């Protein structure tokens, strides 16, 4: 942190520094992998981008990523993105530290600075940025669902499972895995998050990509969740599908009971019947659900 602020203090182009991310979150666990999410508020970005040697001051790097340079617009002839307001350097250093550093004009910062409640002002040479309240993760906490959100989540979960089933039967592992690990799991994770919210009065965050699920879920629910992950074996894949269905059914029942929502057991039962039929379906079958 001394290095980050020292560089800013000596460079006249840098007028302010602020930080967000897990290091500003009083509720986030502390460990050695936490990034430094830093924004340098600068007079202009062009000179930084033109001579990138200035970032060498932070130490020897293992890898550098520049998101704006990697954007699809940059590489597919759809026009070079506007770099005049904001530019980022994601840097992993030889000592294991990581800095996600952005140079950002004051004009852009006046918008971005207030957008994230996990922001802490570290340096302001000209008093150009407004005062802000102490950092809080309130915007990242699980929010209670509406009846419509709950219904859509349930419908999407059960509907997308038919794509998983046919992908397994067709021996299309990448397709089946993608359907399960993205579309189905997104809905499962949403239901898990609502259950976590209920357990903790909607005053906690489940973390990016559910990274705090283990911390907040009841042990029995977490064990069920672990069983939704499988390897490349189709038999294990079906077991993971069964685990996901069982967990979703349990969680949806608890969430619906808490809020007084209606859980469509007919969708659950219909898709469960379909999955069971496809699982035992021979490869030379002429129909899926014989009467």
**Average pLDDT of every residue of the chain:** 93
The pLDDT tens digits of the residues spanning 246-266 come to 999 999 999 999 999 999 999
pTM of structure: 0.86
Does the pLDDT value for residue 283 go beyond 90? no
Mean pLDDT in residue range 269-281: 95
Computed on alpha carbons and rounded to an integer, the radius of gyration of the chain in Å comes to 24
Going along the chain from its start, the domains and CATH numbers come out as: 2-139 (3.30.460.10), 141-279 (1.20.120.330)
Does the pLDDT value for residue 242 go beyond 70? yes
pLDDT tier at 16, thresholds 50, 70, 90:
very high
List all residues 6 or more positions away from 245 whose beta carbon is below 8 Å from its beta carbon. Answer: 161, 268, 272, 275
pLDDT of residue 28: 87
Residue 253 is inside which H or E element, if any? helix 234-259
Nearest to 17 by CA among 163, 128, 167, 142: 128
The pLDDT tens digits of the residues spanning 32-61 come to 999 999 999 999 999 999 998 999 999 999
Look-up: residue for tokens 């499988």? 230
Beta bridge mates, 40: 17, 103
Report the C-alpha gap between 247 and 243 in whole angstroms: 6
């Amino acid at each position: 942190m001394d290095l980050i602020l020292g560089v800013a203090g000596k460079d006249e182009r840098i007028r302010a520094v602020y930080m967000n991310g897990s290091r500003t979150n009083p509720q986030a666990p502390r460990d050695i992998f936490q990034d430094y999410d830093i924004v340098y508020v600068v007079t202009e970005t062009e000179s930084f981008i033109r001579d990138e040697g200035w970032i060498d001051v932070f130490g020897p790097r293992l890898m550098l990523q520049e998101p704006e340079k990697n954007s699809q617009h940059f590489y597919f002839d759809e026009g070079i993105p506007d770099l005049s307001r904001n530019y980022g350097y994601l840097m992993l250093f030889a000592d294991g530290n990581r800095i996600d550093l952005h140079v950002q004009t004051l004009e852009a910062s006046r918008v971005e600075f207030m957008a994230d409640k996990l922001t802490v002002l570290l340096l302001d040479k000209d008093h150009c940025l407004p005062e802000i309240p102490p950092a809080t993760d309130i915007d990242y906490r699980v929010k209670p669902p509406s009846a419509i959100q709950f219904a859509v989540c349930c419908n999407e979960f059960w509907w997308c499972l038919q794509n998983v089933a046919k992908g397994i039967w067709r021996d299309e592992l990448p397709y089946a895995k993608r359907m399960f690990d993205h579309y189905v799991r997104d809905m499962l994770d949403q239901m898990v998050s609502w259950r976590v919210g209920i357990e903790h009065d909607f005053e906690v965050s489940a973390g990016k990509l559910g990274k705090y699920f283990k911390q907040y879920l009841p042990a029995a629910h977490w064990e069920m969740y672990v069983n939704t992950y499988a390897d490349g074996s189709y038999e294990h894949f079906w077991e993971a599908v069964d685990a996901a269905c069982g967990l979703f059914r349990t969680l949806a029942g608890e969430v619906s009971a808490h809020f007084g929502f209606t859980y469509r057991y007919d969708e659950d039962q219909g898709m469960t019947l379909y999955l069971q039929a496809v699982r035992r379906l021979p490869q030379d079958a002429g129909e899926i659900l014989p009467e």
